Amino acid sequence: MGVPIPTTPRLRSGPMRVLVLGYGNPGRRDDGLGPRLAEELSRMGLPGVDVDAAYQLQAEDAAAVADHDVVVFVDADVSCPDPFEMRPVLPAGEPRFSTHSLAPETVLSMAWKYLEAKPEAYVLAIRGEDFDGFGEGLSDRARRNLSAALGFIEKFLEERASSCEKAST
Amino acid sequence: MSTTTTRKVVIEPVTRVEGHGKVTILLDEAGQVERARLHIVEFRGFERFIQGRPFWEMPVAVQRLCGICPVSHHLAAAKAMDRIVGGENLTPTAEKMRRLMHYGQMFQSHSLHFFHLASPDLLFGFGADAAVRNVIAVAGNFPELGKQGIMMRKYGQEIIRMTAGKKIHGTGAIPGGINKNLSIAERDELLVDLDQMKIWARAAVKIARDYTVDNLEMALGFGSFESNHMSIVRADGAMDLYDGGLRAITADGDTIFDHVDNQAYSDYIAEEVKPWSYMKFPFIKSIGPEDGWYRVGPLARVNACDFIDTPEAEAARQEFMAVTGGRPNNVTLAYHWTRMIETLHSIEKIEELLHDPDLQGEDLVVKGERRNETVGIIEAPRGTLFHHYIVDDNDQVVMANLIVSTTSNNEPMNRAVEGVAKKYLSGREITEGLLNHVEVAIRAYDPCLSCATHALGQMPLVVDLVDASGALLNSRKRG
């Protein structure tokens, strides 16, 4: 689950700005994993880390993305390996506009094409299992996976901040 | 590809439309379109989800329905619960805060649809290659347009955040009022970008107007048909997106009913079930299911109202009505023009409200005589939204019935699909560009199938061509 940290130098001056954006519908059981991680992470109050939650990714998220150096999209996943998977993500050449909601690649593409920003970006996919019907609360499996993902993202963000500090000294 | 058997083309789900829908186009042996239908393939379950919950949770709980217009459900439920607590006569601060939230929602929703969902079709043509008919391609050819869409959407979302408390699961509207006012700092922050938003909204009206007028001949034949129209209107006949009595008119503009009390909606509107669709088909009772179906949404609202109470949107409305000599406009693609007129109206109302000191008032909640049955109706971005509840003496919701705008537009969307399919697909080799014509007709209504079916879903587009024996002749899939 180790994630290679890109070595591309940052162009923006000043402290590194990180955005963690969890998305999904908390009223659809494990689909709420993204917002739930955002909620937990927000409570930690990590310095330099902005945390936001949404039902789904939308056009205006491109503006938020463009305002940060590192972006982590957090979503529930129906098929990734337990407990989670983190992978780098790039602006997509071909957008996936299948619904009102956007894919992370499309949001990044919009930030790049419209707002001339290309932050380093990742998708943190957390494995869930219960996506049927309406209901609040996570399945036992999703709760376990959320806990593991939370520990991972906290460490990842600390390491990312540390590597940025070293690069700037 | 065989042309000697009956064939069925399935588009599943419709792209750039929320939720899970499927279009089935049945071709006869000669390759002519025999029938076309928009199917909804999800089950209904939301009413059961909220039964047994305390009534005061409704304004928050119903936002689970949809990630596209949670504010509409939030406000419709709050309006309904106002009556449960006897607080329907809101304080000026409460009503104006809710209106500000609602106009913010309307502004961002309409902007998103026009700039990012519809503009690729309008700018590049319905039949253009999908690889160049998308919002990223808009950036290459019309970069300012796409950027405006992002910033207008963001502005509306900021209004929602400031009035509802947060972007997701807002809590601003509560039974009998609102839980916060707008601070001076918040007001001033919104005023900074207001003029820019007005400029962009004006420009968007012009783009939509020019497109419709320049392509009127095509638009007249593109999934257009005569229909009834319904919306709520203010007591003086003005467009009112937040509150008013129900008005329905015929395709000629004759009144079917007017200023109907929201609580009596079920005396005028009924829902029909059809075996081939999970989504119901609402109709006007006095006319019956065969001819009593109606349109809702921007086109219906502009057609149904007597005037708009903001100057620039009213001027735009008059220009719109002049195209049809004052008669209701029944052109499906004219939804885009009316959607932008409402966007301009919304930003004008936002300006009016931001300069109103009532938004900083401290009197937020009223309560009165407790009731057990209630109806809340609001004009959501996609059309009239009904929330009907019965609450028992233990404060639990025991019955809920929701009629969402996409459900009201079910029959019109089906007619548009069939009309376009027959005109553009009959007797021709089915290409991706031709199939997109069908989707363009659906997208004009900006349906939210997630809301209509009470489910969220995101799947690739699958188009199957099946012969009469069920054998798959051709299949298309795209993200």
DSSP B210-263: HHHHHTHHHHHTSS----EEEEEE-TTSBB-SSS-EEEEE-TT--EEEEEE-GG
* A55 vs B67, B112, B151: nearest CB: B67
The larger pLDDT score, comparing residue B459 to residue B419, is at: B419
Does the structure show a pLDDT above 80 at B449? Answer: no
Predicted confidence at residue B443, as pLDDT, reads 86
Q: Which residues pair with B380 in a beta bridge?
A: B383
Predicted confidence at residue B197, as pLDDT, reads 98
Which residue is listed with tokens 């690649």? Answer: A105
* B136 vs A25, A56, A95: nearest CB: A95
The rounded distance, in Å, linking the Cα atoms of B333 and B251 is 16
Mean pLDDT calculated for residue range B444-452: 70
Helix axes B143-164, B70-84, angle to 10 degrees: 30
> If pLDDT is split at 50, 70 and 90, which confidence band does B2 have?
very low
Predicted confidence at residue B61, as pLDDT, reads 87
Mean pLDDT calculated for residue range B80-99: 98
- Say how many C-beta atoms besides its own lie within 10 A of residue A71's C-beta: 27
Q: Which of A149-163, B247-261, B423-437 bottoms out in mean pLDDT, i.e. has the lowest?
A: B423-437
Q: Where are the domains of chain B?
A: 7-44+412-478, 90-168+182-223+331-363
Helix axes B70-84, B92-112, angle to 10 degrees: 160
Predicted confidence at residue A141, as pLDDT, reads 95
Does the structure show a pLDDT above 70 at B477? Answer: no
Does the structure show a pLDDT above 50 at B455? Answer: no
Predicted confidence at residue B479, as pLDDT, reads 38
Residues in Cβ contact with B450 at an 8 Å cutoff, skipping those fewer than 6 apart:
A99, A100, B18, B19, B20, B65, B66, B67, B68, B456, B457
| Nearest chain B CA: its distance from A113 CA (Å) | 6
CB contact under 8 A, B135 and A97: yes
Query: Could you report how far apart the first and last alpha carbons of chain A are, in Å?
Result: 29
Mean pLDDT calculated for residue range B54-60: 94
Predicted confidence at residue A4, as pLDDT, reads 46
- Say how many C-beta atoms besides its own lie within 10 A of residue A79's C-beta: 8
Predicted confidence at residue A1, as pLDDT, reads 42
Name the CA radius of gyration of chain B, rounded.
22
Does the structure show a pLDDT above 60 at B254? Answer: yes
ipTM of the complex: 0.76
Q: What percent of chain B has pLDDT over 90?
A: 62
pLDDT tens digits for range B157-197: 999 999 998 777 789 999 999 999 999 999 999 999 999 99
Considering only CA atoms, which of B362, B26, B112 is closest in space to residue A63?
B112
* B150 vs A63, A134, A135: nearest CB: A63
And the tokens for B281?
């088909």
The rounded mean pLDDT for chain B is: 87
Checking phi first, is residue B383 left (phi over 0); if not, alpha (psi -120 to 50) or beta? left
| Nearest chain B CA: its distance from A163 CA (Å) | 32
CB contact under 8 A, A100 and B134: no
Which residue is listed with tokens 């309307």? Answer: B106
Among chain B residues, CA nearest to A24: B67
Chain A residues in contact with B45 by the CB 8 A cut-off are 133-134
- The domains located in chain A, with CATH, are 18-168 (3.40.50.1450)
Sign of the Cα pseudo-torsion (B353, B355, B358, B364, in order): positive
Does the structure show a pLDDT above 80 at B451? Answer: no
| Nearest chain A CA: its distance from B154 CA (Å) | 5
Determine phi and psi for B364, rounding to 5 degrees: -105, -25
CB contact under 8 A, A58 and B112: yes
Count of CB pairs separated by less than 8 Å, A with B: 111
Predicted confidence at residue B51, as pLDDT, reads 87
CATH 3.40.50.300 correct for B90-168+182-223+331-363: no
> Cis (ω within 30 of 0) for the bond into A83?
yes
Mean pLDDT calculated for residue range B369-376: 97
Q: Which of A43-52, B304-313, B385-394 bottoms out in mean pLDDT, i.e. has the lowest?
A: A43-52
Q: What DSSP character marks residue B307?
A: B
Single pTM value for the model:
0.88
Predicted confidence at residue B363, as pLDDT, reads 98
Q: What DSSP character marks residue B333?
A: G
pLDDT tens digits for range A78-128: 888 999 999 999 998 554 433 456 889 989 999 998 899 999 999 999 999
Predicted confidence at residue B16, as pLDDT, reads 38
The rounded distance, in Å, linking the Cα atoms of B323 and B316 is 11
Q: For chain B, what is the largest distance between any 2 Cα atoms, rounded to a whole number of angstroms?
A: 73
Contact B43, B479 (CB under 8 A): no
Could you give the dihedral angle defined by the CA atoms of residues A79, A80, A83 and A89, in that order, rounded to the nearest 10 degrees? -140
The larger pLDDT score, comparing residue A25 to residue A95, is at: A25
Predicted confidence at residue B463, as pLDDT, reads 47
| Nearest chain B CA: its distance from A168 CA (Å) | 32
Chain A residues in contact with B117 by the CB 8 A cut-off are 97, 100
Could you give the dihedral angle defined by the CA atoms of residues B29, B32, B33 and B34, in that order, rounded to the nearest 10 degrees? -50
Q: What percent of chain B has pLDDT over 70?
A: 87
* B64 vs A25, A54, A98: nearest CB: A25
pLDDT tens digits for range B194-244: 999 999 999 999 999 999 999 999 999 999 999 999 999 999 999 999 999
- Which SS3 state, helix, strand or coil, does residue A35 take? helix
| Nearest chain B CA: its distance from A109 CA (Å) | 7
CB contact under 8 A, A59 and B150: yes
pLDDT tens digits for range B59-79: 998 887 766 788 999 999 999
Among chain A residues, CA nearest to B61: A27
